[in-house]
Amino acid sequence: MVYRKQVEIKGQKYWYLFHTVRQGDKYLKKSKYIGKELPKDIENIEKEFLEEVKMKKQDIPKEIRELAETLHPYERKILPFLKDNKSLKELVKASKMQEIEVMRALQWLENKNILSIKKELKEIISIGKNGRLYLEKGLPEKRFLKAIEGIIHIDKIKEKAGLEKDEINVCLGLLRRKAAIEIKPGMNINITEQGKKLLQKTLF
């Protein structure tokens, strides 16, 4: 007779189906993982399980039966989805399991030589907040130069170019090294001919 039982594993409760069959002078308990919740079609699942346990012992090699008995609920749940889903993202979506649960299940299955995991390293460049701002408004040093009209005080440049104090300090050092500006007394700034040429370039 098939019966249902909730089993606690590592603090989590899972539903299983159990059925005891006789093989010679021994009684073996067969089990089937159901999930954390009982599905609505549990009665159909019980009938299918009963048909499964009626299979003859020799139909399933001993080593496979023994291996199946060692599988964790995560491993049992992910196995049916391995045929049609190859990537971690696909497995998570198909199985409706958490990504960490799928990763653990795959690792355990690999440790049992049931599957092999192929890992691909990808280098991804992500544009941060400042990068998006610079793409939209231009690099700070270009904005600095564009804000110069004649001889102008540094505070006016900061205001016109919309630059922060640390950006202003960086621009002063960079543009001075490139001979693009002249710093007059009182922190008044003048653009040089070299500075005007730099403004025409895409990159400094």
How far apart, in Å, are the Cα atoms of 92 and each of 9, 34, 98, 103, 188?
21, 18, 6, 9, 61
Find, among 167, 102, 86, the residue nearest to 158 by Cα.
167
Across 165-190, average pLDDT: 92
The pLDDT > 90 percentage for the chain reads 33
Question: CA–CA separation, 189 vs 151, rounded Å?
Answer: 5
How does pLDDT run across 10-49, given as a tens digit for each residue? 889 999 998 887 766 777 788 888 989 998 888 888 888 8
CATH code of the domain occupying 138-200: 1.10.10.10
Identify which of 88, 120, 110, 112 has the alpha carbon closest to the alpha carbon of residue 101. 88
Hey, where are the domains in the chain?
1-56, 71-117, 138-200
The mean pLDDT value for 40-66 works out to 74
Cβ atoms 155, 148 nearer than 8 A: no
Query: pTM of the predicted model, to two decimals?
Result: 0.38
Residue 144 has pLDDT above 90, yes or no: yes
Mean pLDDT computed over every residue of the chain: 85
Q: Is the pLDDT of residue 128 over 80?
A: no
Q: What angle do CA 10, 16, 22 make, to 5 degrees?
A: 120
Is residue 58 scored above 50 in pLDDT? no
Mean pLDDT of the region 76-105: 90
Q: Write down the pLDDT at residue 157.
A: 93
Can you tell me the distance from the alpha carbon of 115 to that of 120, in angstroms, rounded to the nearest whole number? Answer: 16
Q: Which CATH architecture has domain 71-117?
A: Orthogonal Bundle (1.10)
- Residue 50 backbone dihedrals phi, psi, to 5 degrees: -60, -40
Judge whether 71-117 and 138-200 match in fold. yes
pLDDT band at 191 (very low <50, low <70, confident <90, very high): very high
Residue type, 54: K
Q: Residues 107-135: what's their mean pLDDT?
A: 79
pLDDT for residue 59: 57
